[in-house]
């Protein structure tokens, strides 16, 4: 983060694509999410290096890359789980980690973070369900206590969402009674019921047994086809990324190396680094978890 003394708003306006050109999204619509020169370091480890990236309303964006390339960190700083070292992130045109005061951007307080973050939902690798709550209560807890939705309405919305992910019949069970795939589908329902403008999926199948991966990917695909919510998908599932995404971003060494439509990325990669990465995947490479 910048110091509390602030940075002038003009310093982060007019960000261009990595090659210096304006991006299609900048020319067409205002992005729902914008990263402006975002960097993050842990000690001497530079995890992200001056990332410029826009996500359009309703866009399905998949991020691929080797372990340690910064993929997961892109999502974590948007969900305010990690704090950028420098740069600005905007959600719906409003700074996330900063707020505007007298023409400068100063460090945001927790109230500001909470309000802007409420537009974002996230599905983690390891479900993070409350083990002592029923499936229904796992899904209704946040709408009732965060959004102040009346209990009856929250229950109706939760049941609709559980129906959407194929688990309405599990509403009165507990997480320990479900398979890994079912738990992840509950986690998806729990995030969706908050009606976010942007949904983050952080390698949602990486903790699942192989035979359970398909059921979770099918739910995510249905969500992608069913609405106008933007999605940021961090994944090692290359075929799935090709099928679901409007755009693919390839990261390595904390930088965006290449981005474009799925057909271009997978069939005509321009950079040697992406060519080598895809070649290893086609030969059975398994990247494991990512940074």
Q: What pLDDT, on the 0 to 100 scale, is given for residue 116?
A: 94
When pLDDT is cut at 50, 70 and 90, the band that residue 228 belongs to is: confident
Chain centroid to Cα 33, Å, comes to 10
Strands (E), the chain: 7-8, 33-42, 45-55, 60-64, 86-91, 94-95, 98-101, 104-107, 120-123, 198-202, 230-234, 247-252, 255-260
Please give the average per-residue pLDDT across 15-43, as a whole number. 70
- The answer on pLDDT for 9 being more than 60 is no
Written as six digits, the tokens of 240 are 């799935």
Q: What pLDDT, on the 0 to 100 scale, is given for residue 284?
A: 59
Written as six digits, the tokens of 218 are 């099918």
Residues of the chain with pLDDT > 70, as a percent, come to 87
| DSSP character at residue 22 | P
- b/e 254-269 (16+ beta carbons within 10 angstroms → b): bbbbbbeebeebbeeb
- The answer on pLDDT for 24 being more than 90 is no
Q: What pLDDT, on the 0 to 100 scale, is given for residue 286?
A: 47
Q: What pLDDT, on the 0 to 100 scale, is given for residue 198?
A: 96
Q: Which residue has the tokens 């969900």?
A: 79
Return the top range by mean pLDDT from 26-30, 202-206, 223-227, 272-276.
272-276
Q: Are strands 33-42 and 45-55 parallel, antiparallel or unpaired?
A: antiparallel
Q: Which residue has the tokens 């946040």?
A: 142
Mean residue pLDDT across the chain: 88
Distance CA 78, CA 113 (A): 10
- The answer on pLDDT for 78 being more than 80 is yes
Asked whether 236 and 68 are in contact (CB, 8 A), the reply is no
Q: What pLDDT, on the 0 to 100 scale, is given for residue 291?
A: 56
- The answer on pLDDT for 19 being more than 50 is no
- The answer on pLDDT for 12 being more than 50 is no
- The answer on pLDDT for 112 being more than 90 is yes
Please give the average per-residue pLDDT across 222-233, as a whole number. 89
Residues of the chain with pLDDT > 90, as a percent, come to 75
Q: What pLDDT, on the 0 to 100 scale, is given for residue 18?
A: 44
Q: What pLDDT, on the 0 to 100 scale, is given for residue 28?
A: 56
When pLDDT is cut at 50, 70 and 90, the band that residue 131 belongs to is: very high
Question: Whole-prediction pTM value?
Answer: 0.84
- The answer on pLDDT for 27 being more than 70 is no
Higher pLDDT, 132 or 4: 132
Q: What pLDDT, on the 0 to 100 scale, is given for residue 280?
A: 85
Q: What pLDDT, on the 0 to 100 scale, is given for residue 195?
A: 92
């Amino acid at each position: 983060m910048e110091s509390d003394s602030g940075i002038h708003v003009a310093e982060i306006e007019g960000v261009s694509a990595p090659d210096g050109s304006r991006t299609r999204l900048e020319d067409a619509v205002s992005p729902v999410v914008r990263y402006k020169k975002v960097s993050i370091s842990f000690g001497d480890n530079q995890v992200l290096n001056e990332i410029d990236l826009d996500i359009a309303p309703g866009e399905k964006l998949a991020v691929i890359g080797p372990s340690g390339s910064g993929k997961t960190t892109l999502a974590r700083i948007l969900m305010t789980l990690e704090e950028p070292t420098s740069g600005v992130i905007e959600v719906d045109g409003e700074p996330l980690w900063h707020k505007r005061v007298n023409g400068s951007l100063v460090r945001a307080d927790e109230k500001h973070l909470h309000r802007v973050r409420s537009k974002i939902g996230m599905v983690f690798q390891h479900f993070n369900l409350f083990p002592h709550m029923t499936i229904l209560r796992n899904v209704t807890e946040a709408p009732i206590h965060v959004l102040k939705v009346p209990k009856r309405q929250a229950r109706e919305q939760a049941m609709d969402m559980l129906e959407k992910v194929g688990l309405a019949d599990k509403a009165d069970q507990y997480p320990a009674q479900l398979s890994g795939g079912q738990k992840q589908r509950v986690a998806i329902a729990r995030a969706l019921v908050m009606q976010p403008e942007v949904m983050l999926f952080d390698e949602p199948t990486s903790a699942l047994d192989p035979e359970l991966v398909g059921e979770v990917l099918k739910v995510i695909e249905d969500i992608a086809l069913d609405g106008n919510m933007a999605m940021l998908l961090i994944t090692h599932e290359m075929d799935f990324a090709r099928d679901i995404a409007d755009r693919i971003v390839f990261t390595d060494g904390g930088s965006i190396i290449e981005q474009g439509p799925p057909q271009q990325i997978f069939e005509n990669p321009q950079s040697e680094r992406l060519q080598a990465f895809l070649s290893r995947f086609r030969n059975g490479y398994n990247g494991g978890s990512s940074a």
